Amino acid sequence: MTPEAAAAFVVGQTAIGRPPLVPELALHLASEITPIWQASEQSLARQGVEPPYWAFAWPGGQALARFVLDDPAQVGGRRVLDLAAGGGIAAIAAARAGAAVTAAEIDPLAAAAIRANAALNGVEIAVALGDPLLHPAETEVILAGDVCYDARMTARVVPWLREAAGRGVAVLLADPGRAYLPREGLEALARYEVAVTRELEDRLVRETTVYRVLPWGSGDGSEQ
């Protein structure tokens, strides 16, 4: 799929909406789940493209966006990496707060969504298409929203985030109570009640916490 085709797909399968926790941002979002999911499966499955996670404002991304907009000093004037950025909500908020932002994604459609959403909000975001976990993070701040949704992802991401924290990177992870979130090695910074839908979640509100990820051995009883 060409970048032009990806951009056309993103715009054609979404509507402009505003996430409930961050209404000052506008995003290309799925207005209904089934049509975009079917469109993705029908036109993209044979190409091995991921489901359209980028088309939804997940609670972790909303919480990170709210956190940096309310406290711009967390990211302002710094180099920020938004890991597994989805549609780029946290990246856009960080750019609004004065950061130089790179959004990392493995999905070409997500990359197209990030570019479209950045343009919609009048900010500049560099998009890195590929797996950032294969390399050390070259940044000052990492934003990671809702990345502990399954065991395999958590097992890859958390050690990488802890290693980055050990090198002095400020690592902010937002999680709405996923089962695989580590029990230790996290410092809670803020909590939000995020409105969600039963089509995506098993409830209507998700309490979502923004944590600082601590390095290996910082009070969690573990070593690298």
Q: What is the pLDDT of residues 112-160, one digit of tens each?
A: 999 999 999 999 999 999 999 999 889 999 999 999 999 999 999 999 9
Look at residue 145 and give its three-state secondary structure.
strand
Q: Is the pLDDT of residue 81 over 70?
A: yes
Q: What pLDDT is recorded for position 222?
A: 44
Burial 50-77 (b: 16+ CB within 10 A, else e): eebbbbbbbbbbbbbbbbbbeeeebbee
The pairing of strands 79-83 and 205-213 is unpaired
Q: What is the pLDDT of residues 184-209, one digit of tens each?
A: 999 999 999 998 877 677 788 999 99
The pairing of strands 205-213 and 170-175 is antiparallel
CB-based contact 43:34 (threshold 8 Å): no
Q: Is the pLDDT of residue 183 over 60?
A: yes
Confidence class for position 72, pLDDT limits 50, 70, 90:
very high
Which of 189, 178, 182 lies closest to 211, judged by CA? 189
DSSP assignments along 174-201, one per residue: EES--TTS-SSSEEEEEEEEEE--TTTS
Q: What is the pLDDT of residues 27-70, one digit of tens each?
A: 999 876 657 766 666 665 555 556 688 999 999 999 999 999 99
Confidence class for position 221, pLDDT limits 50, 70, 90:
very low
Of residues 217 and 79, which shows the higher confidence score?
79
Q: What pLDDT is recorded for position 194?
A: 95
Of residues 10 and 63, which shows the higher confidence score?
63
pTM confidence score: 0.90
Q: Is the pLDDT of residue 219 over 70?
A: no
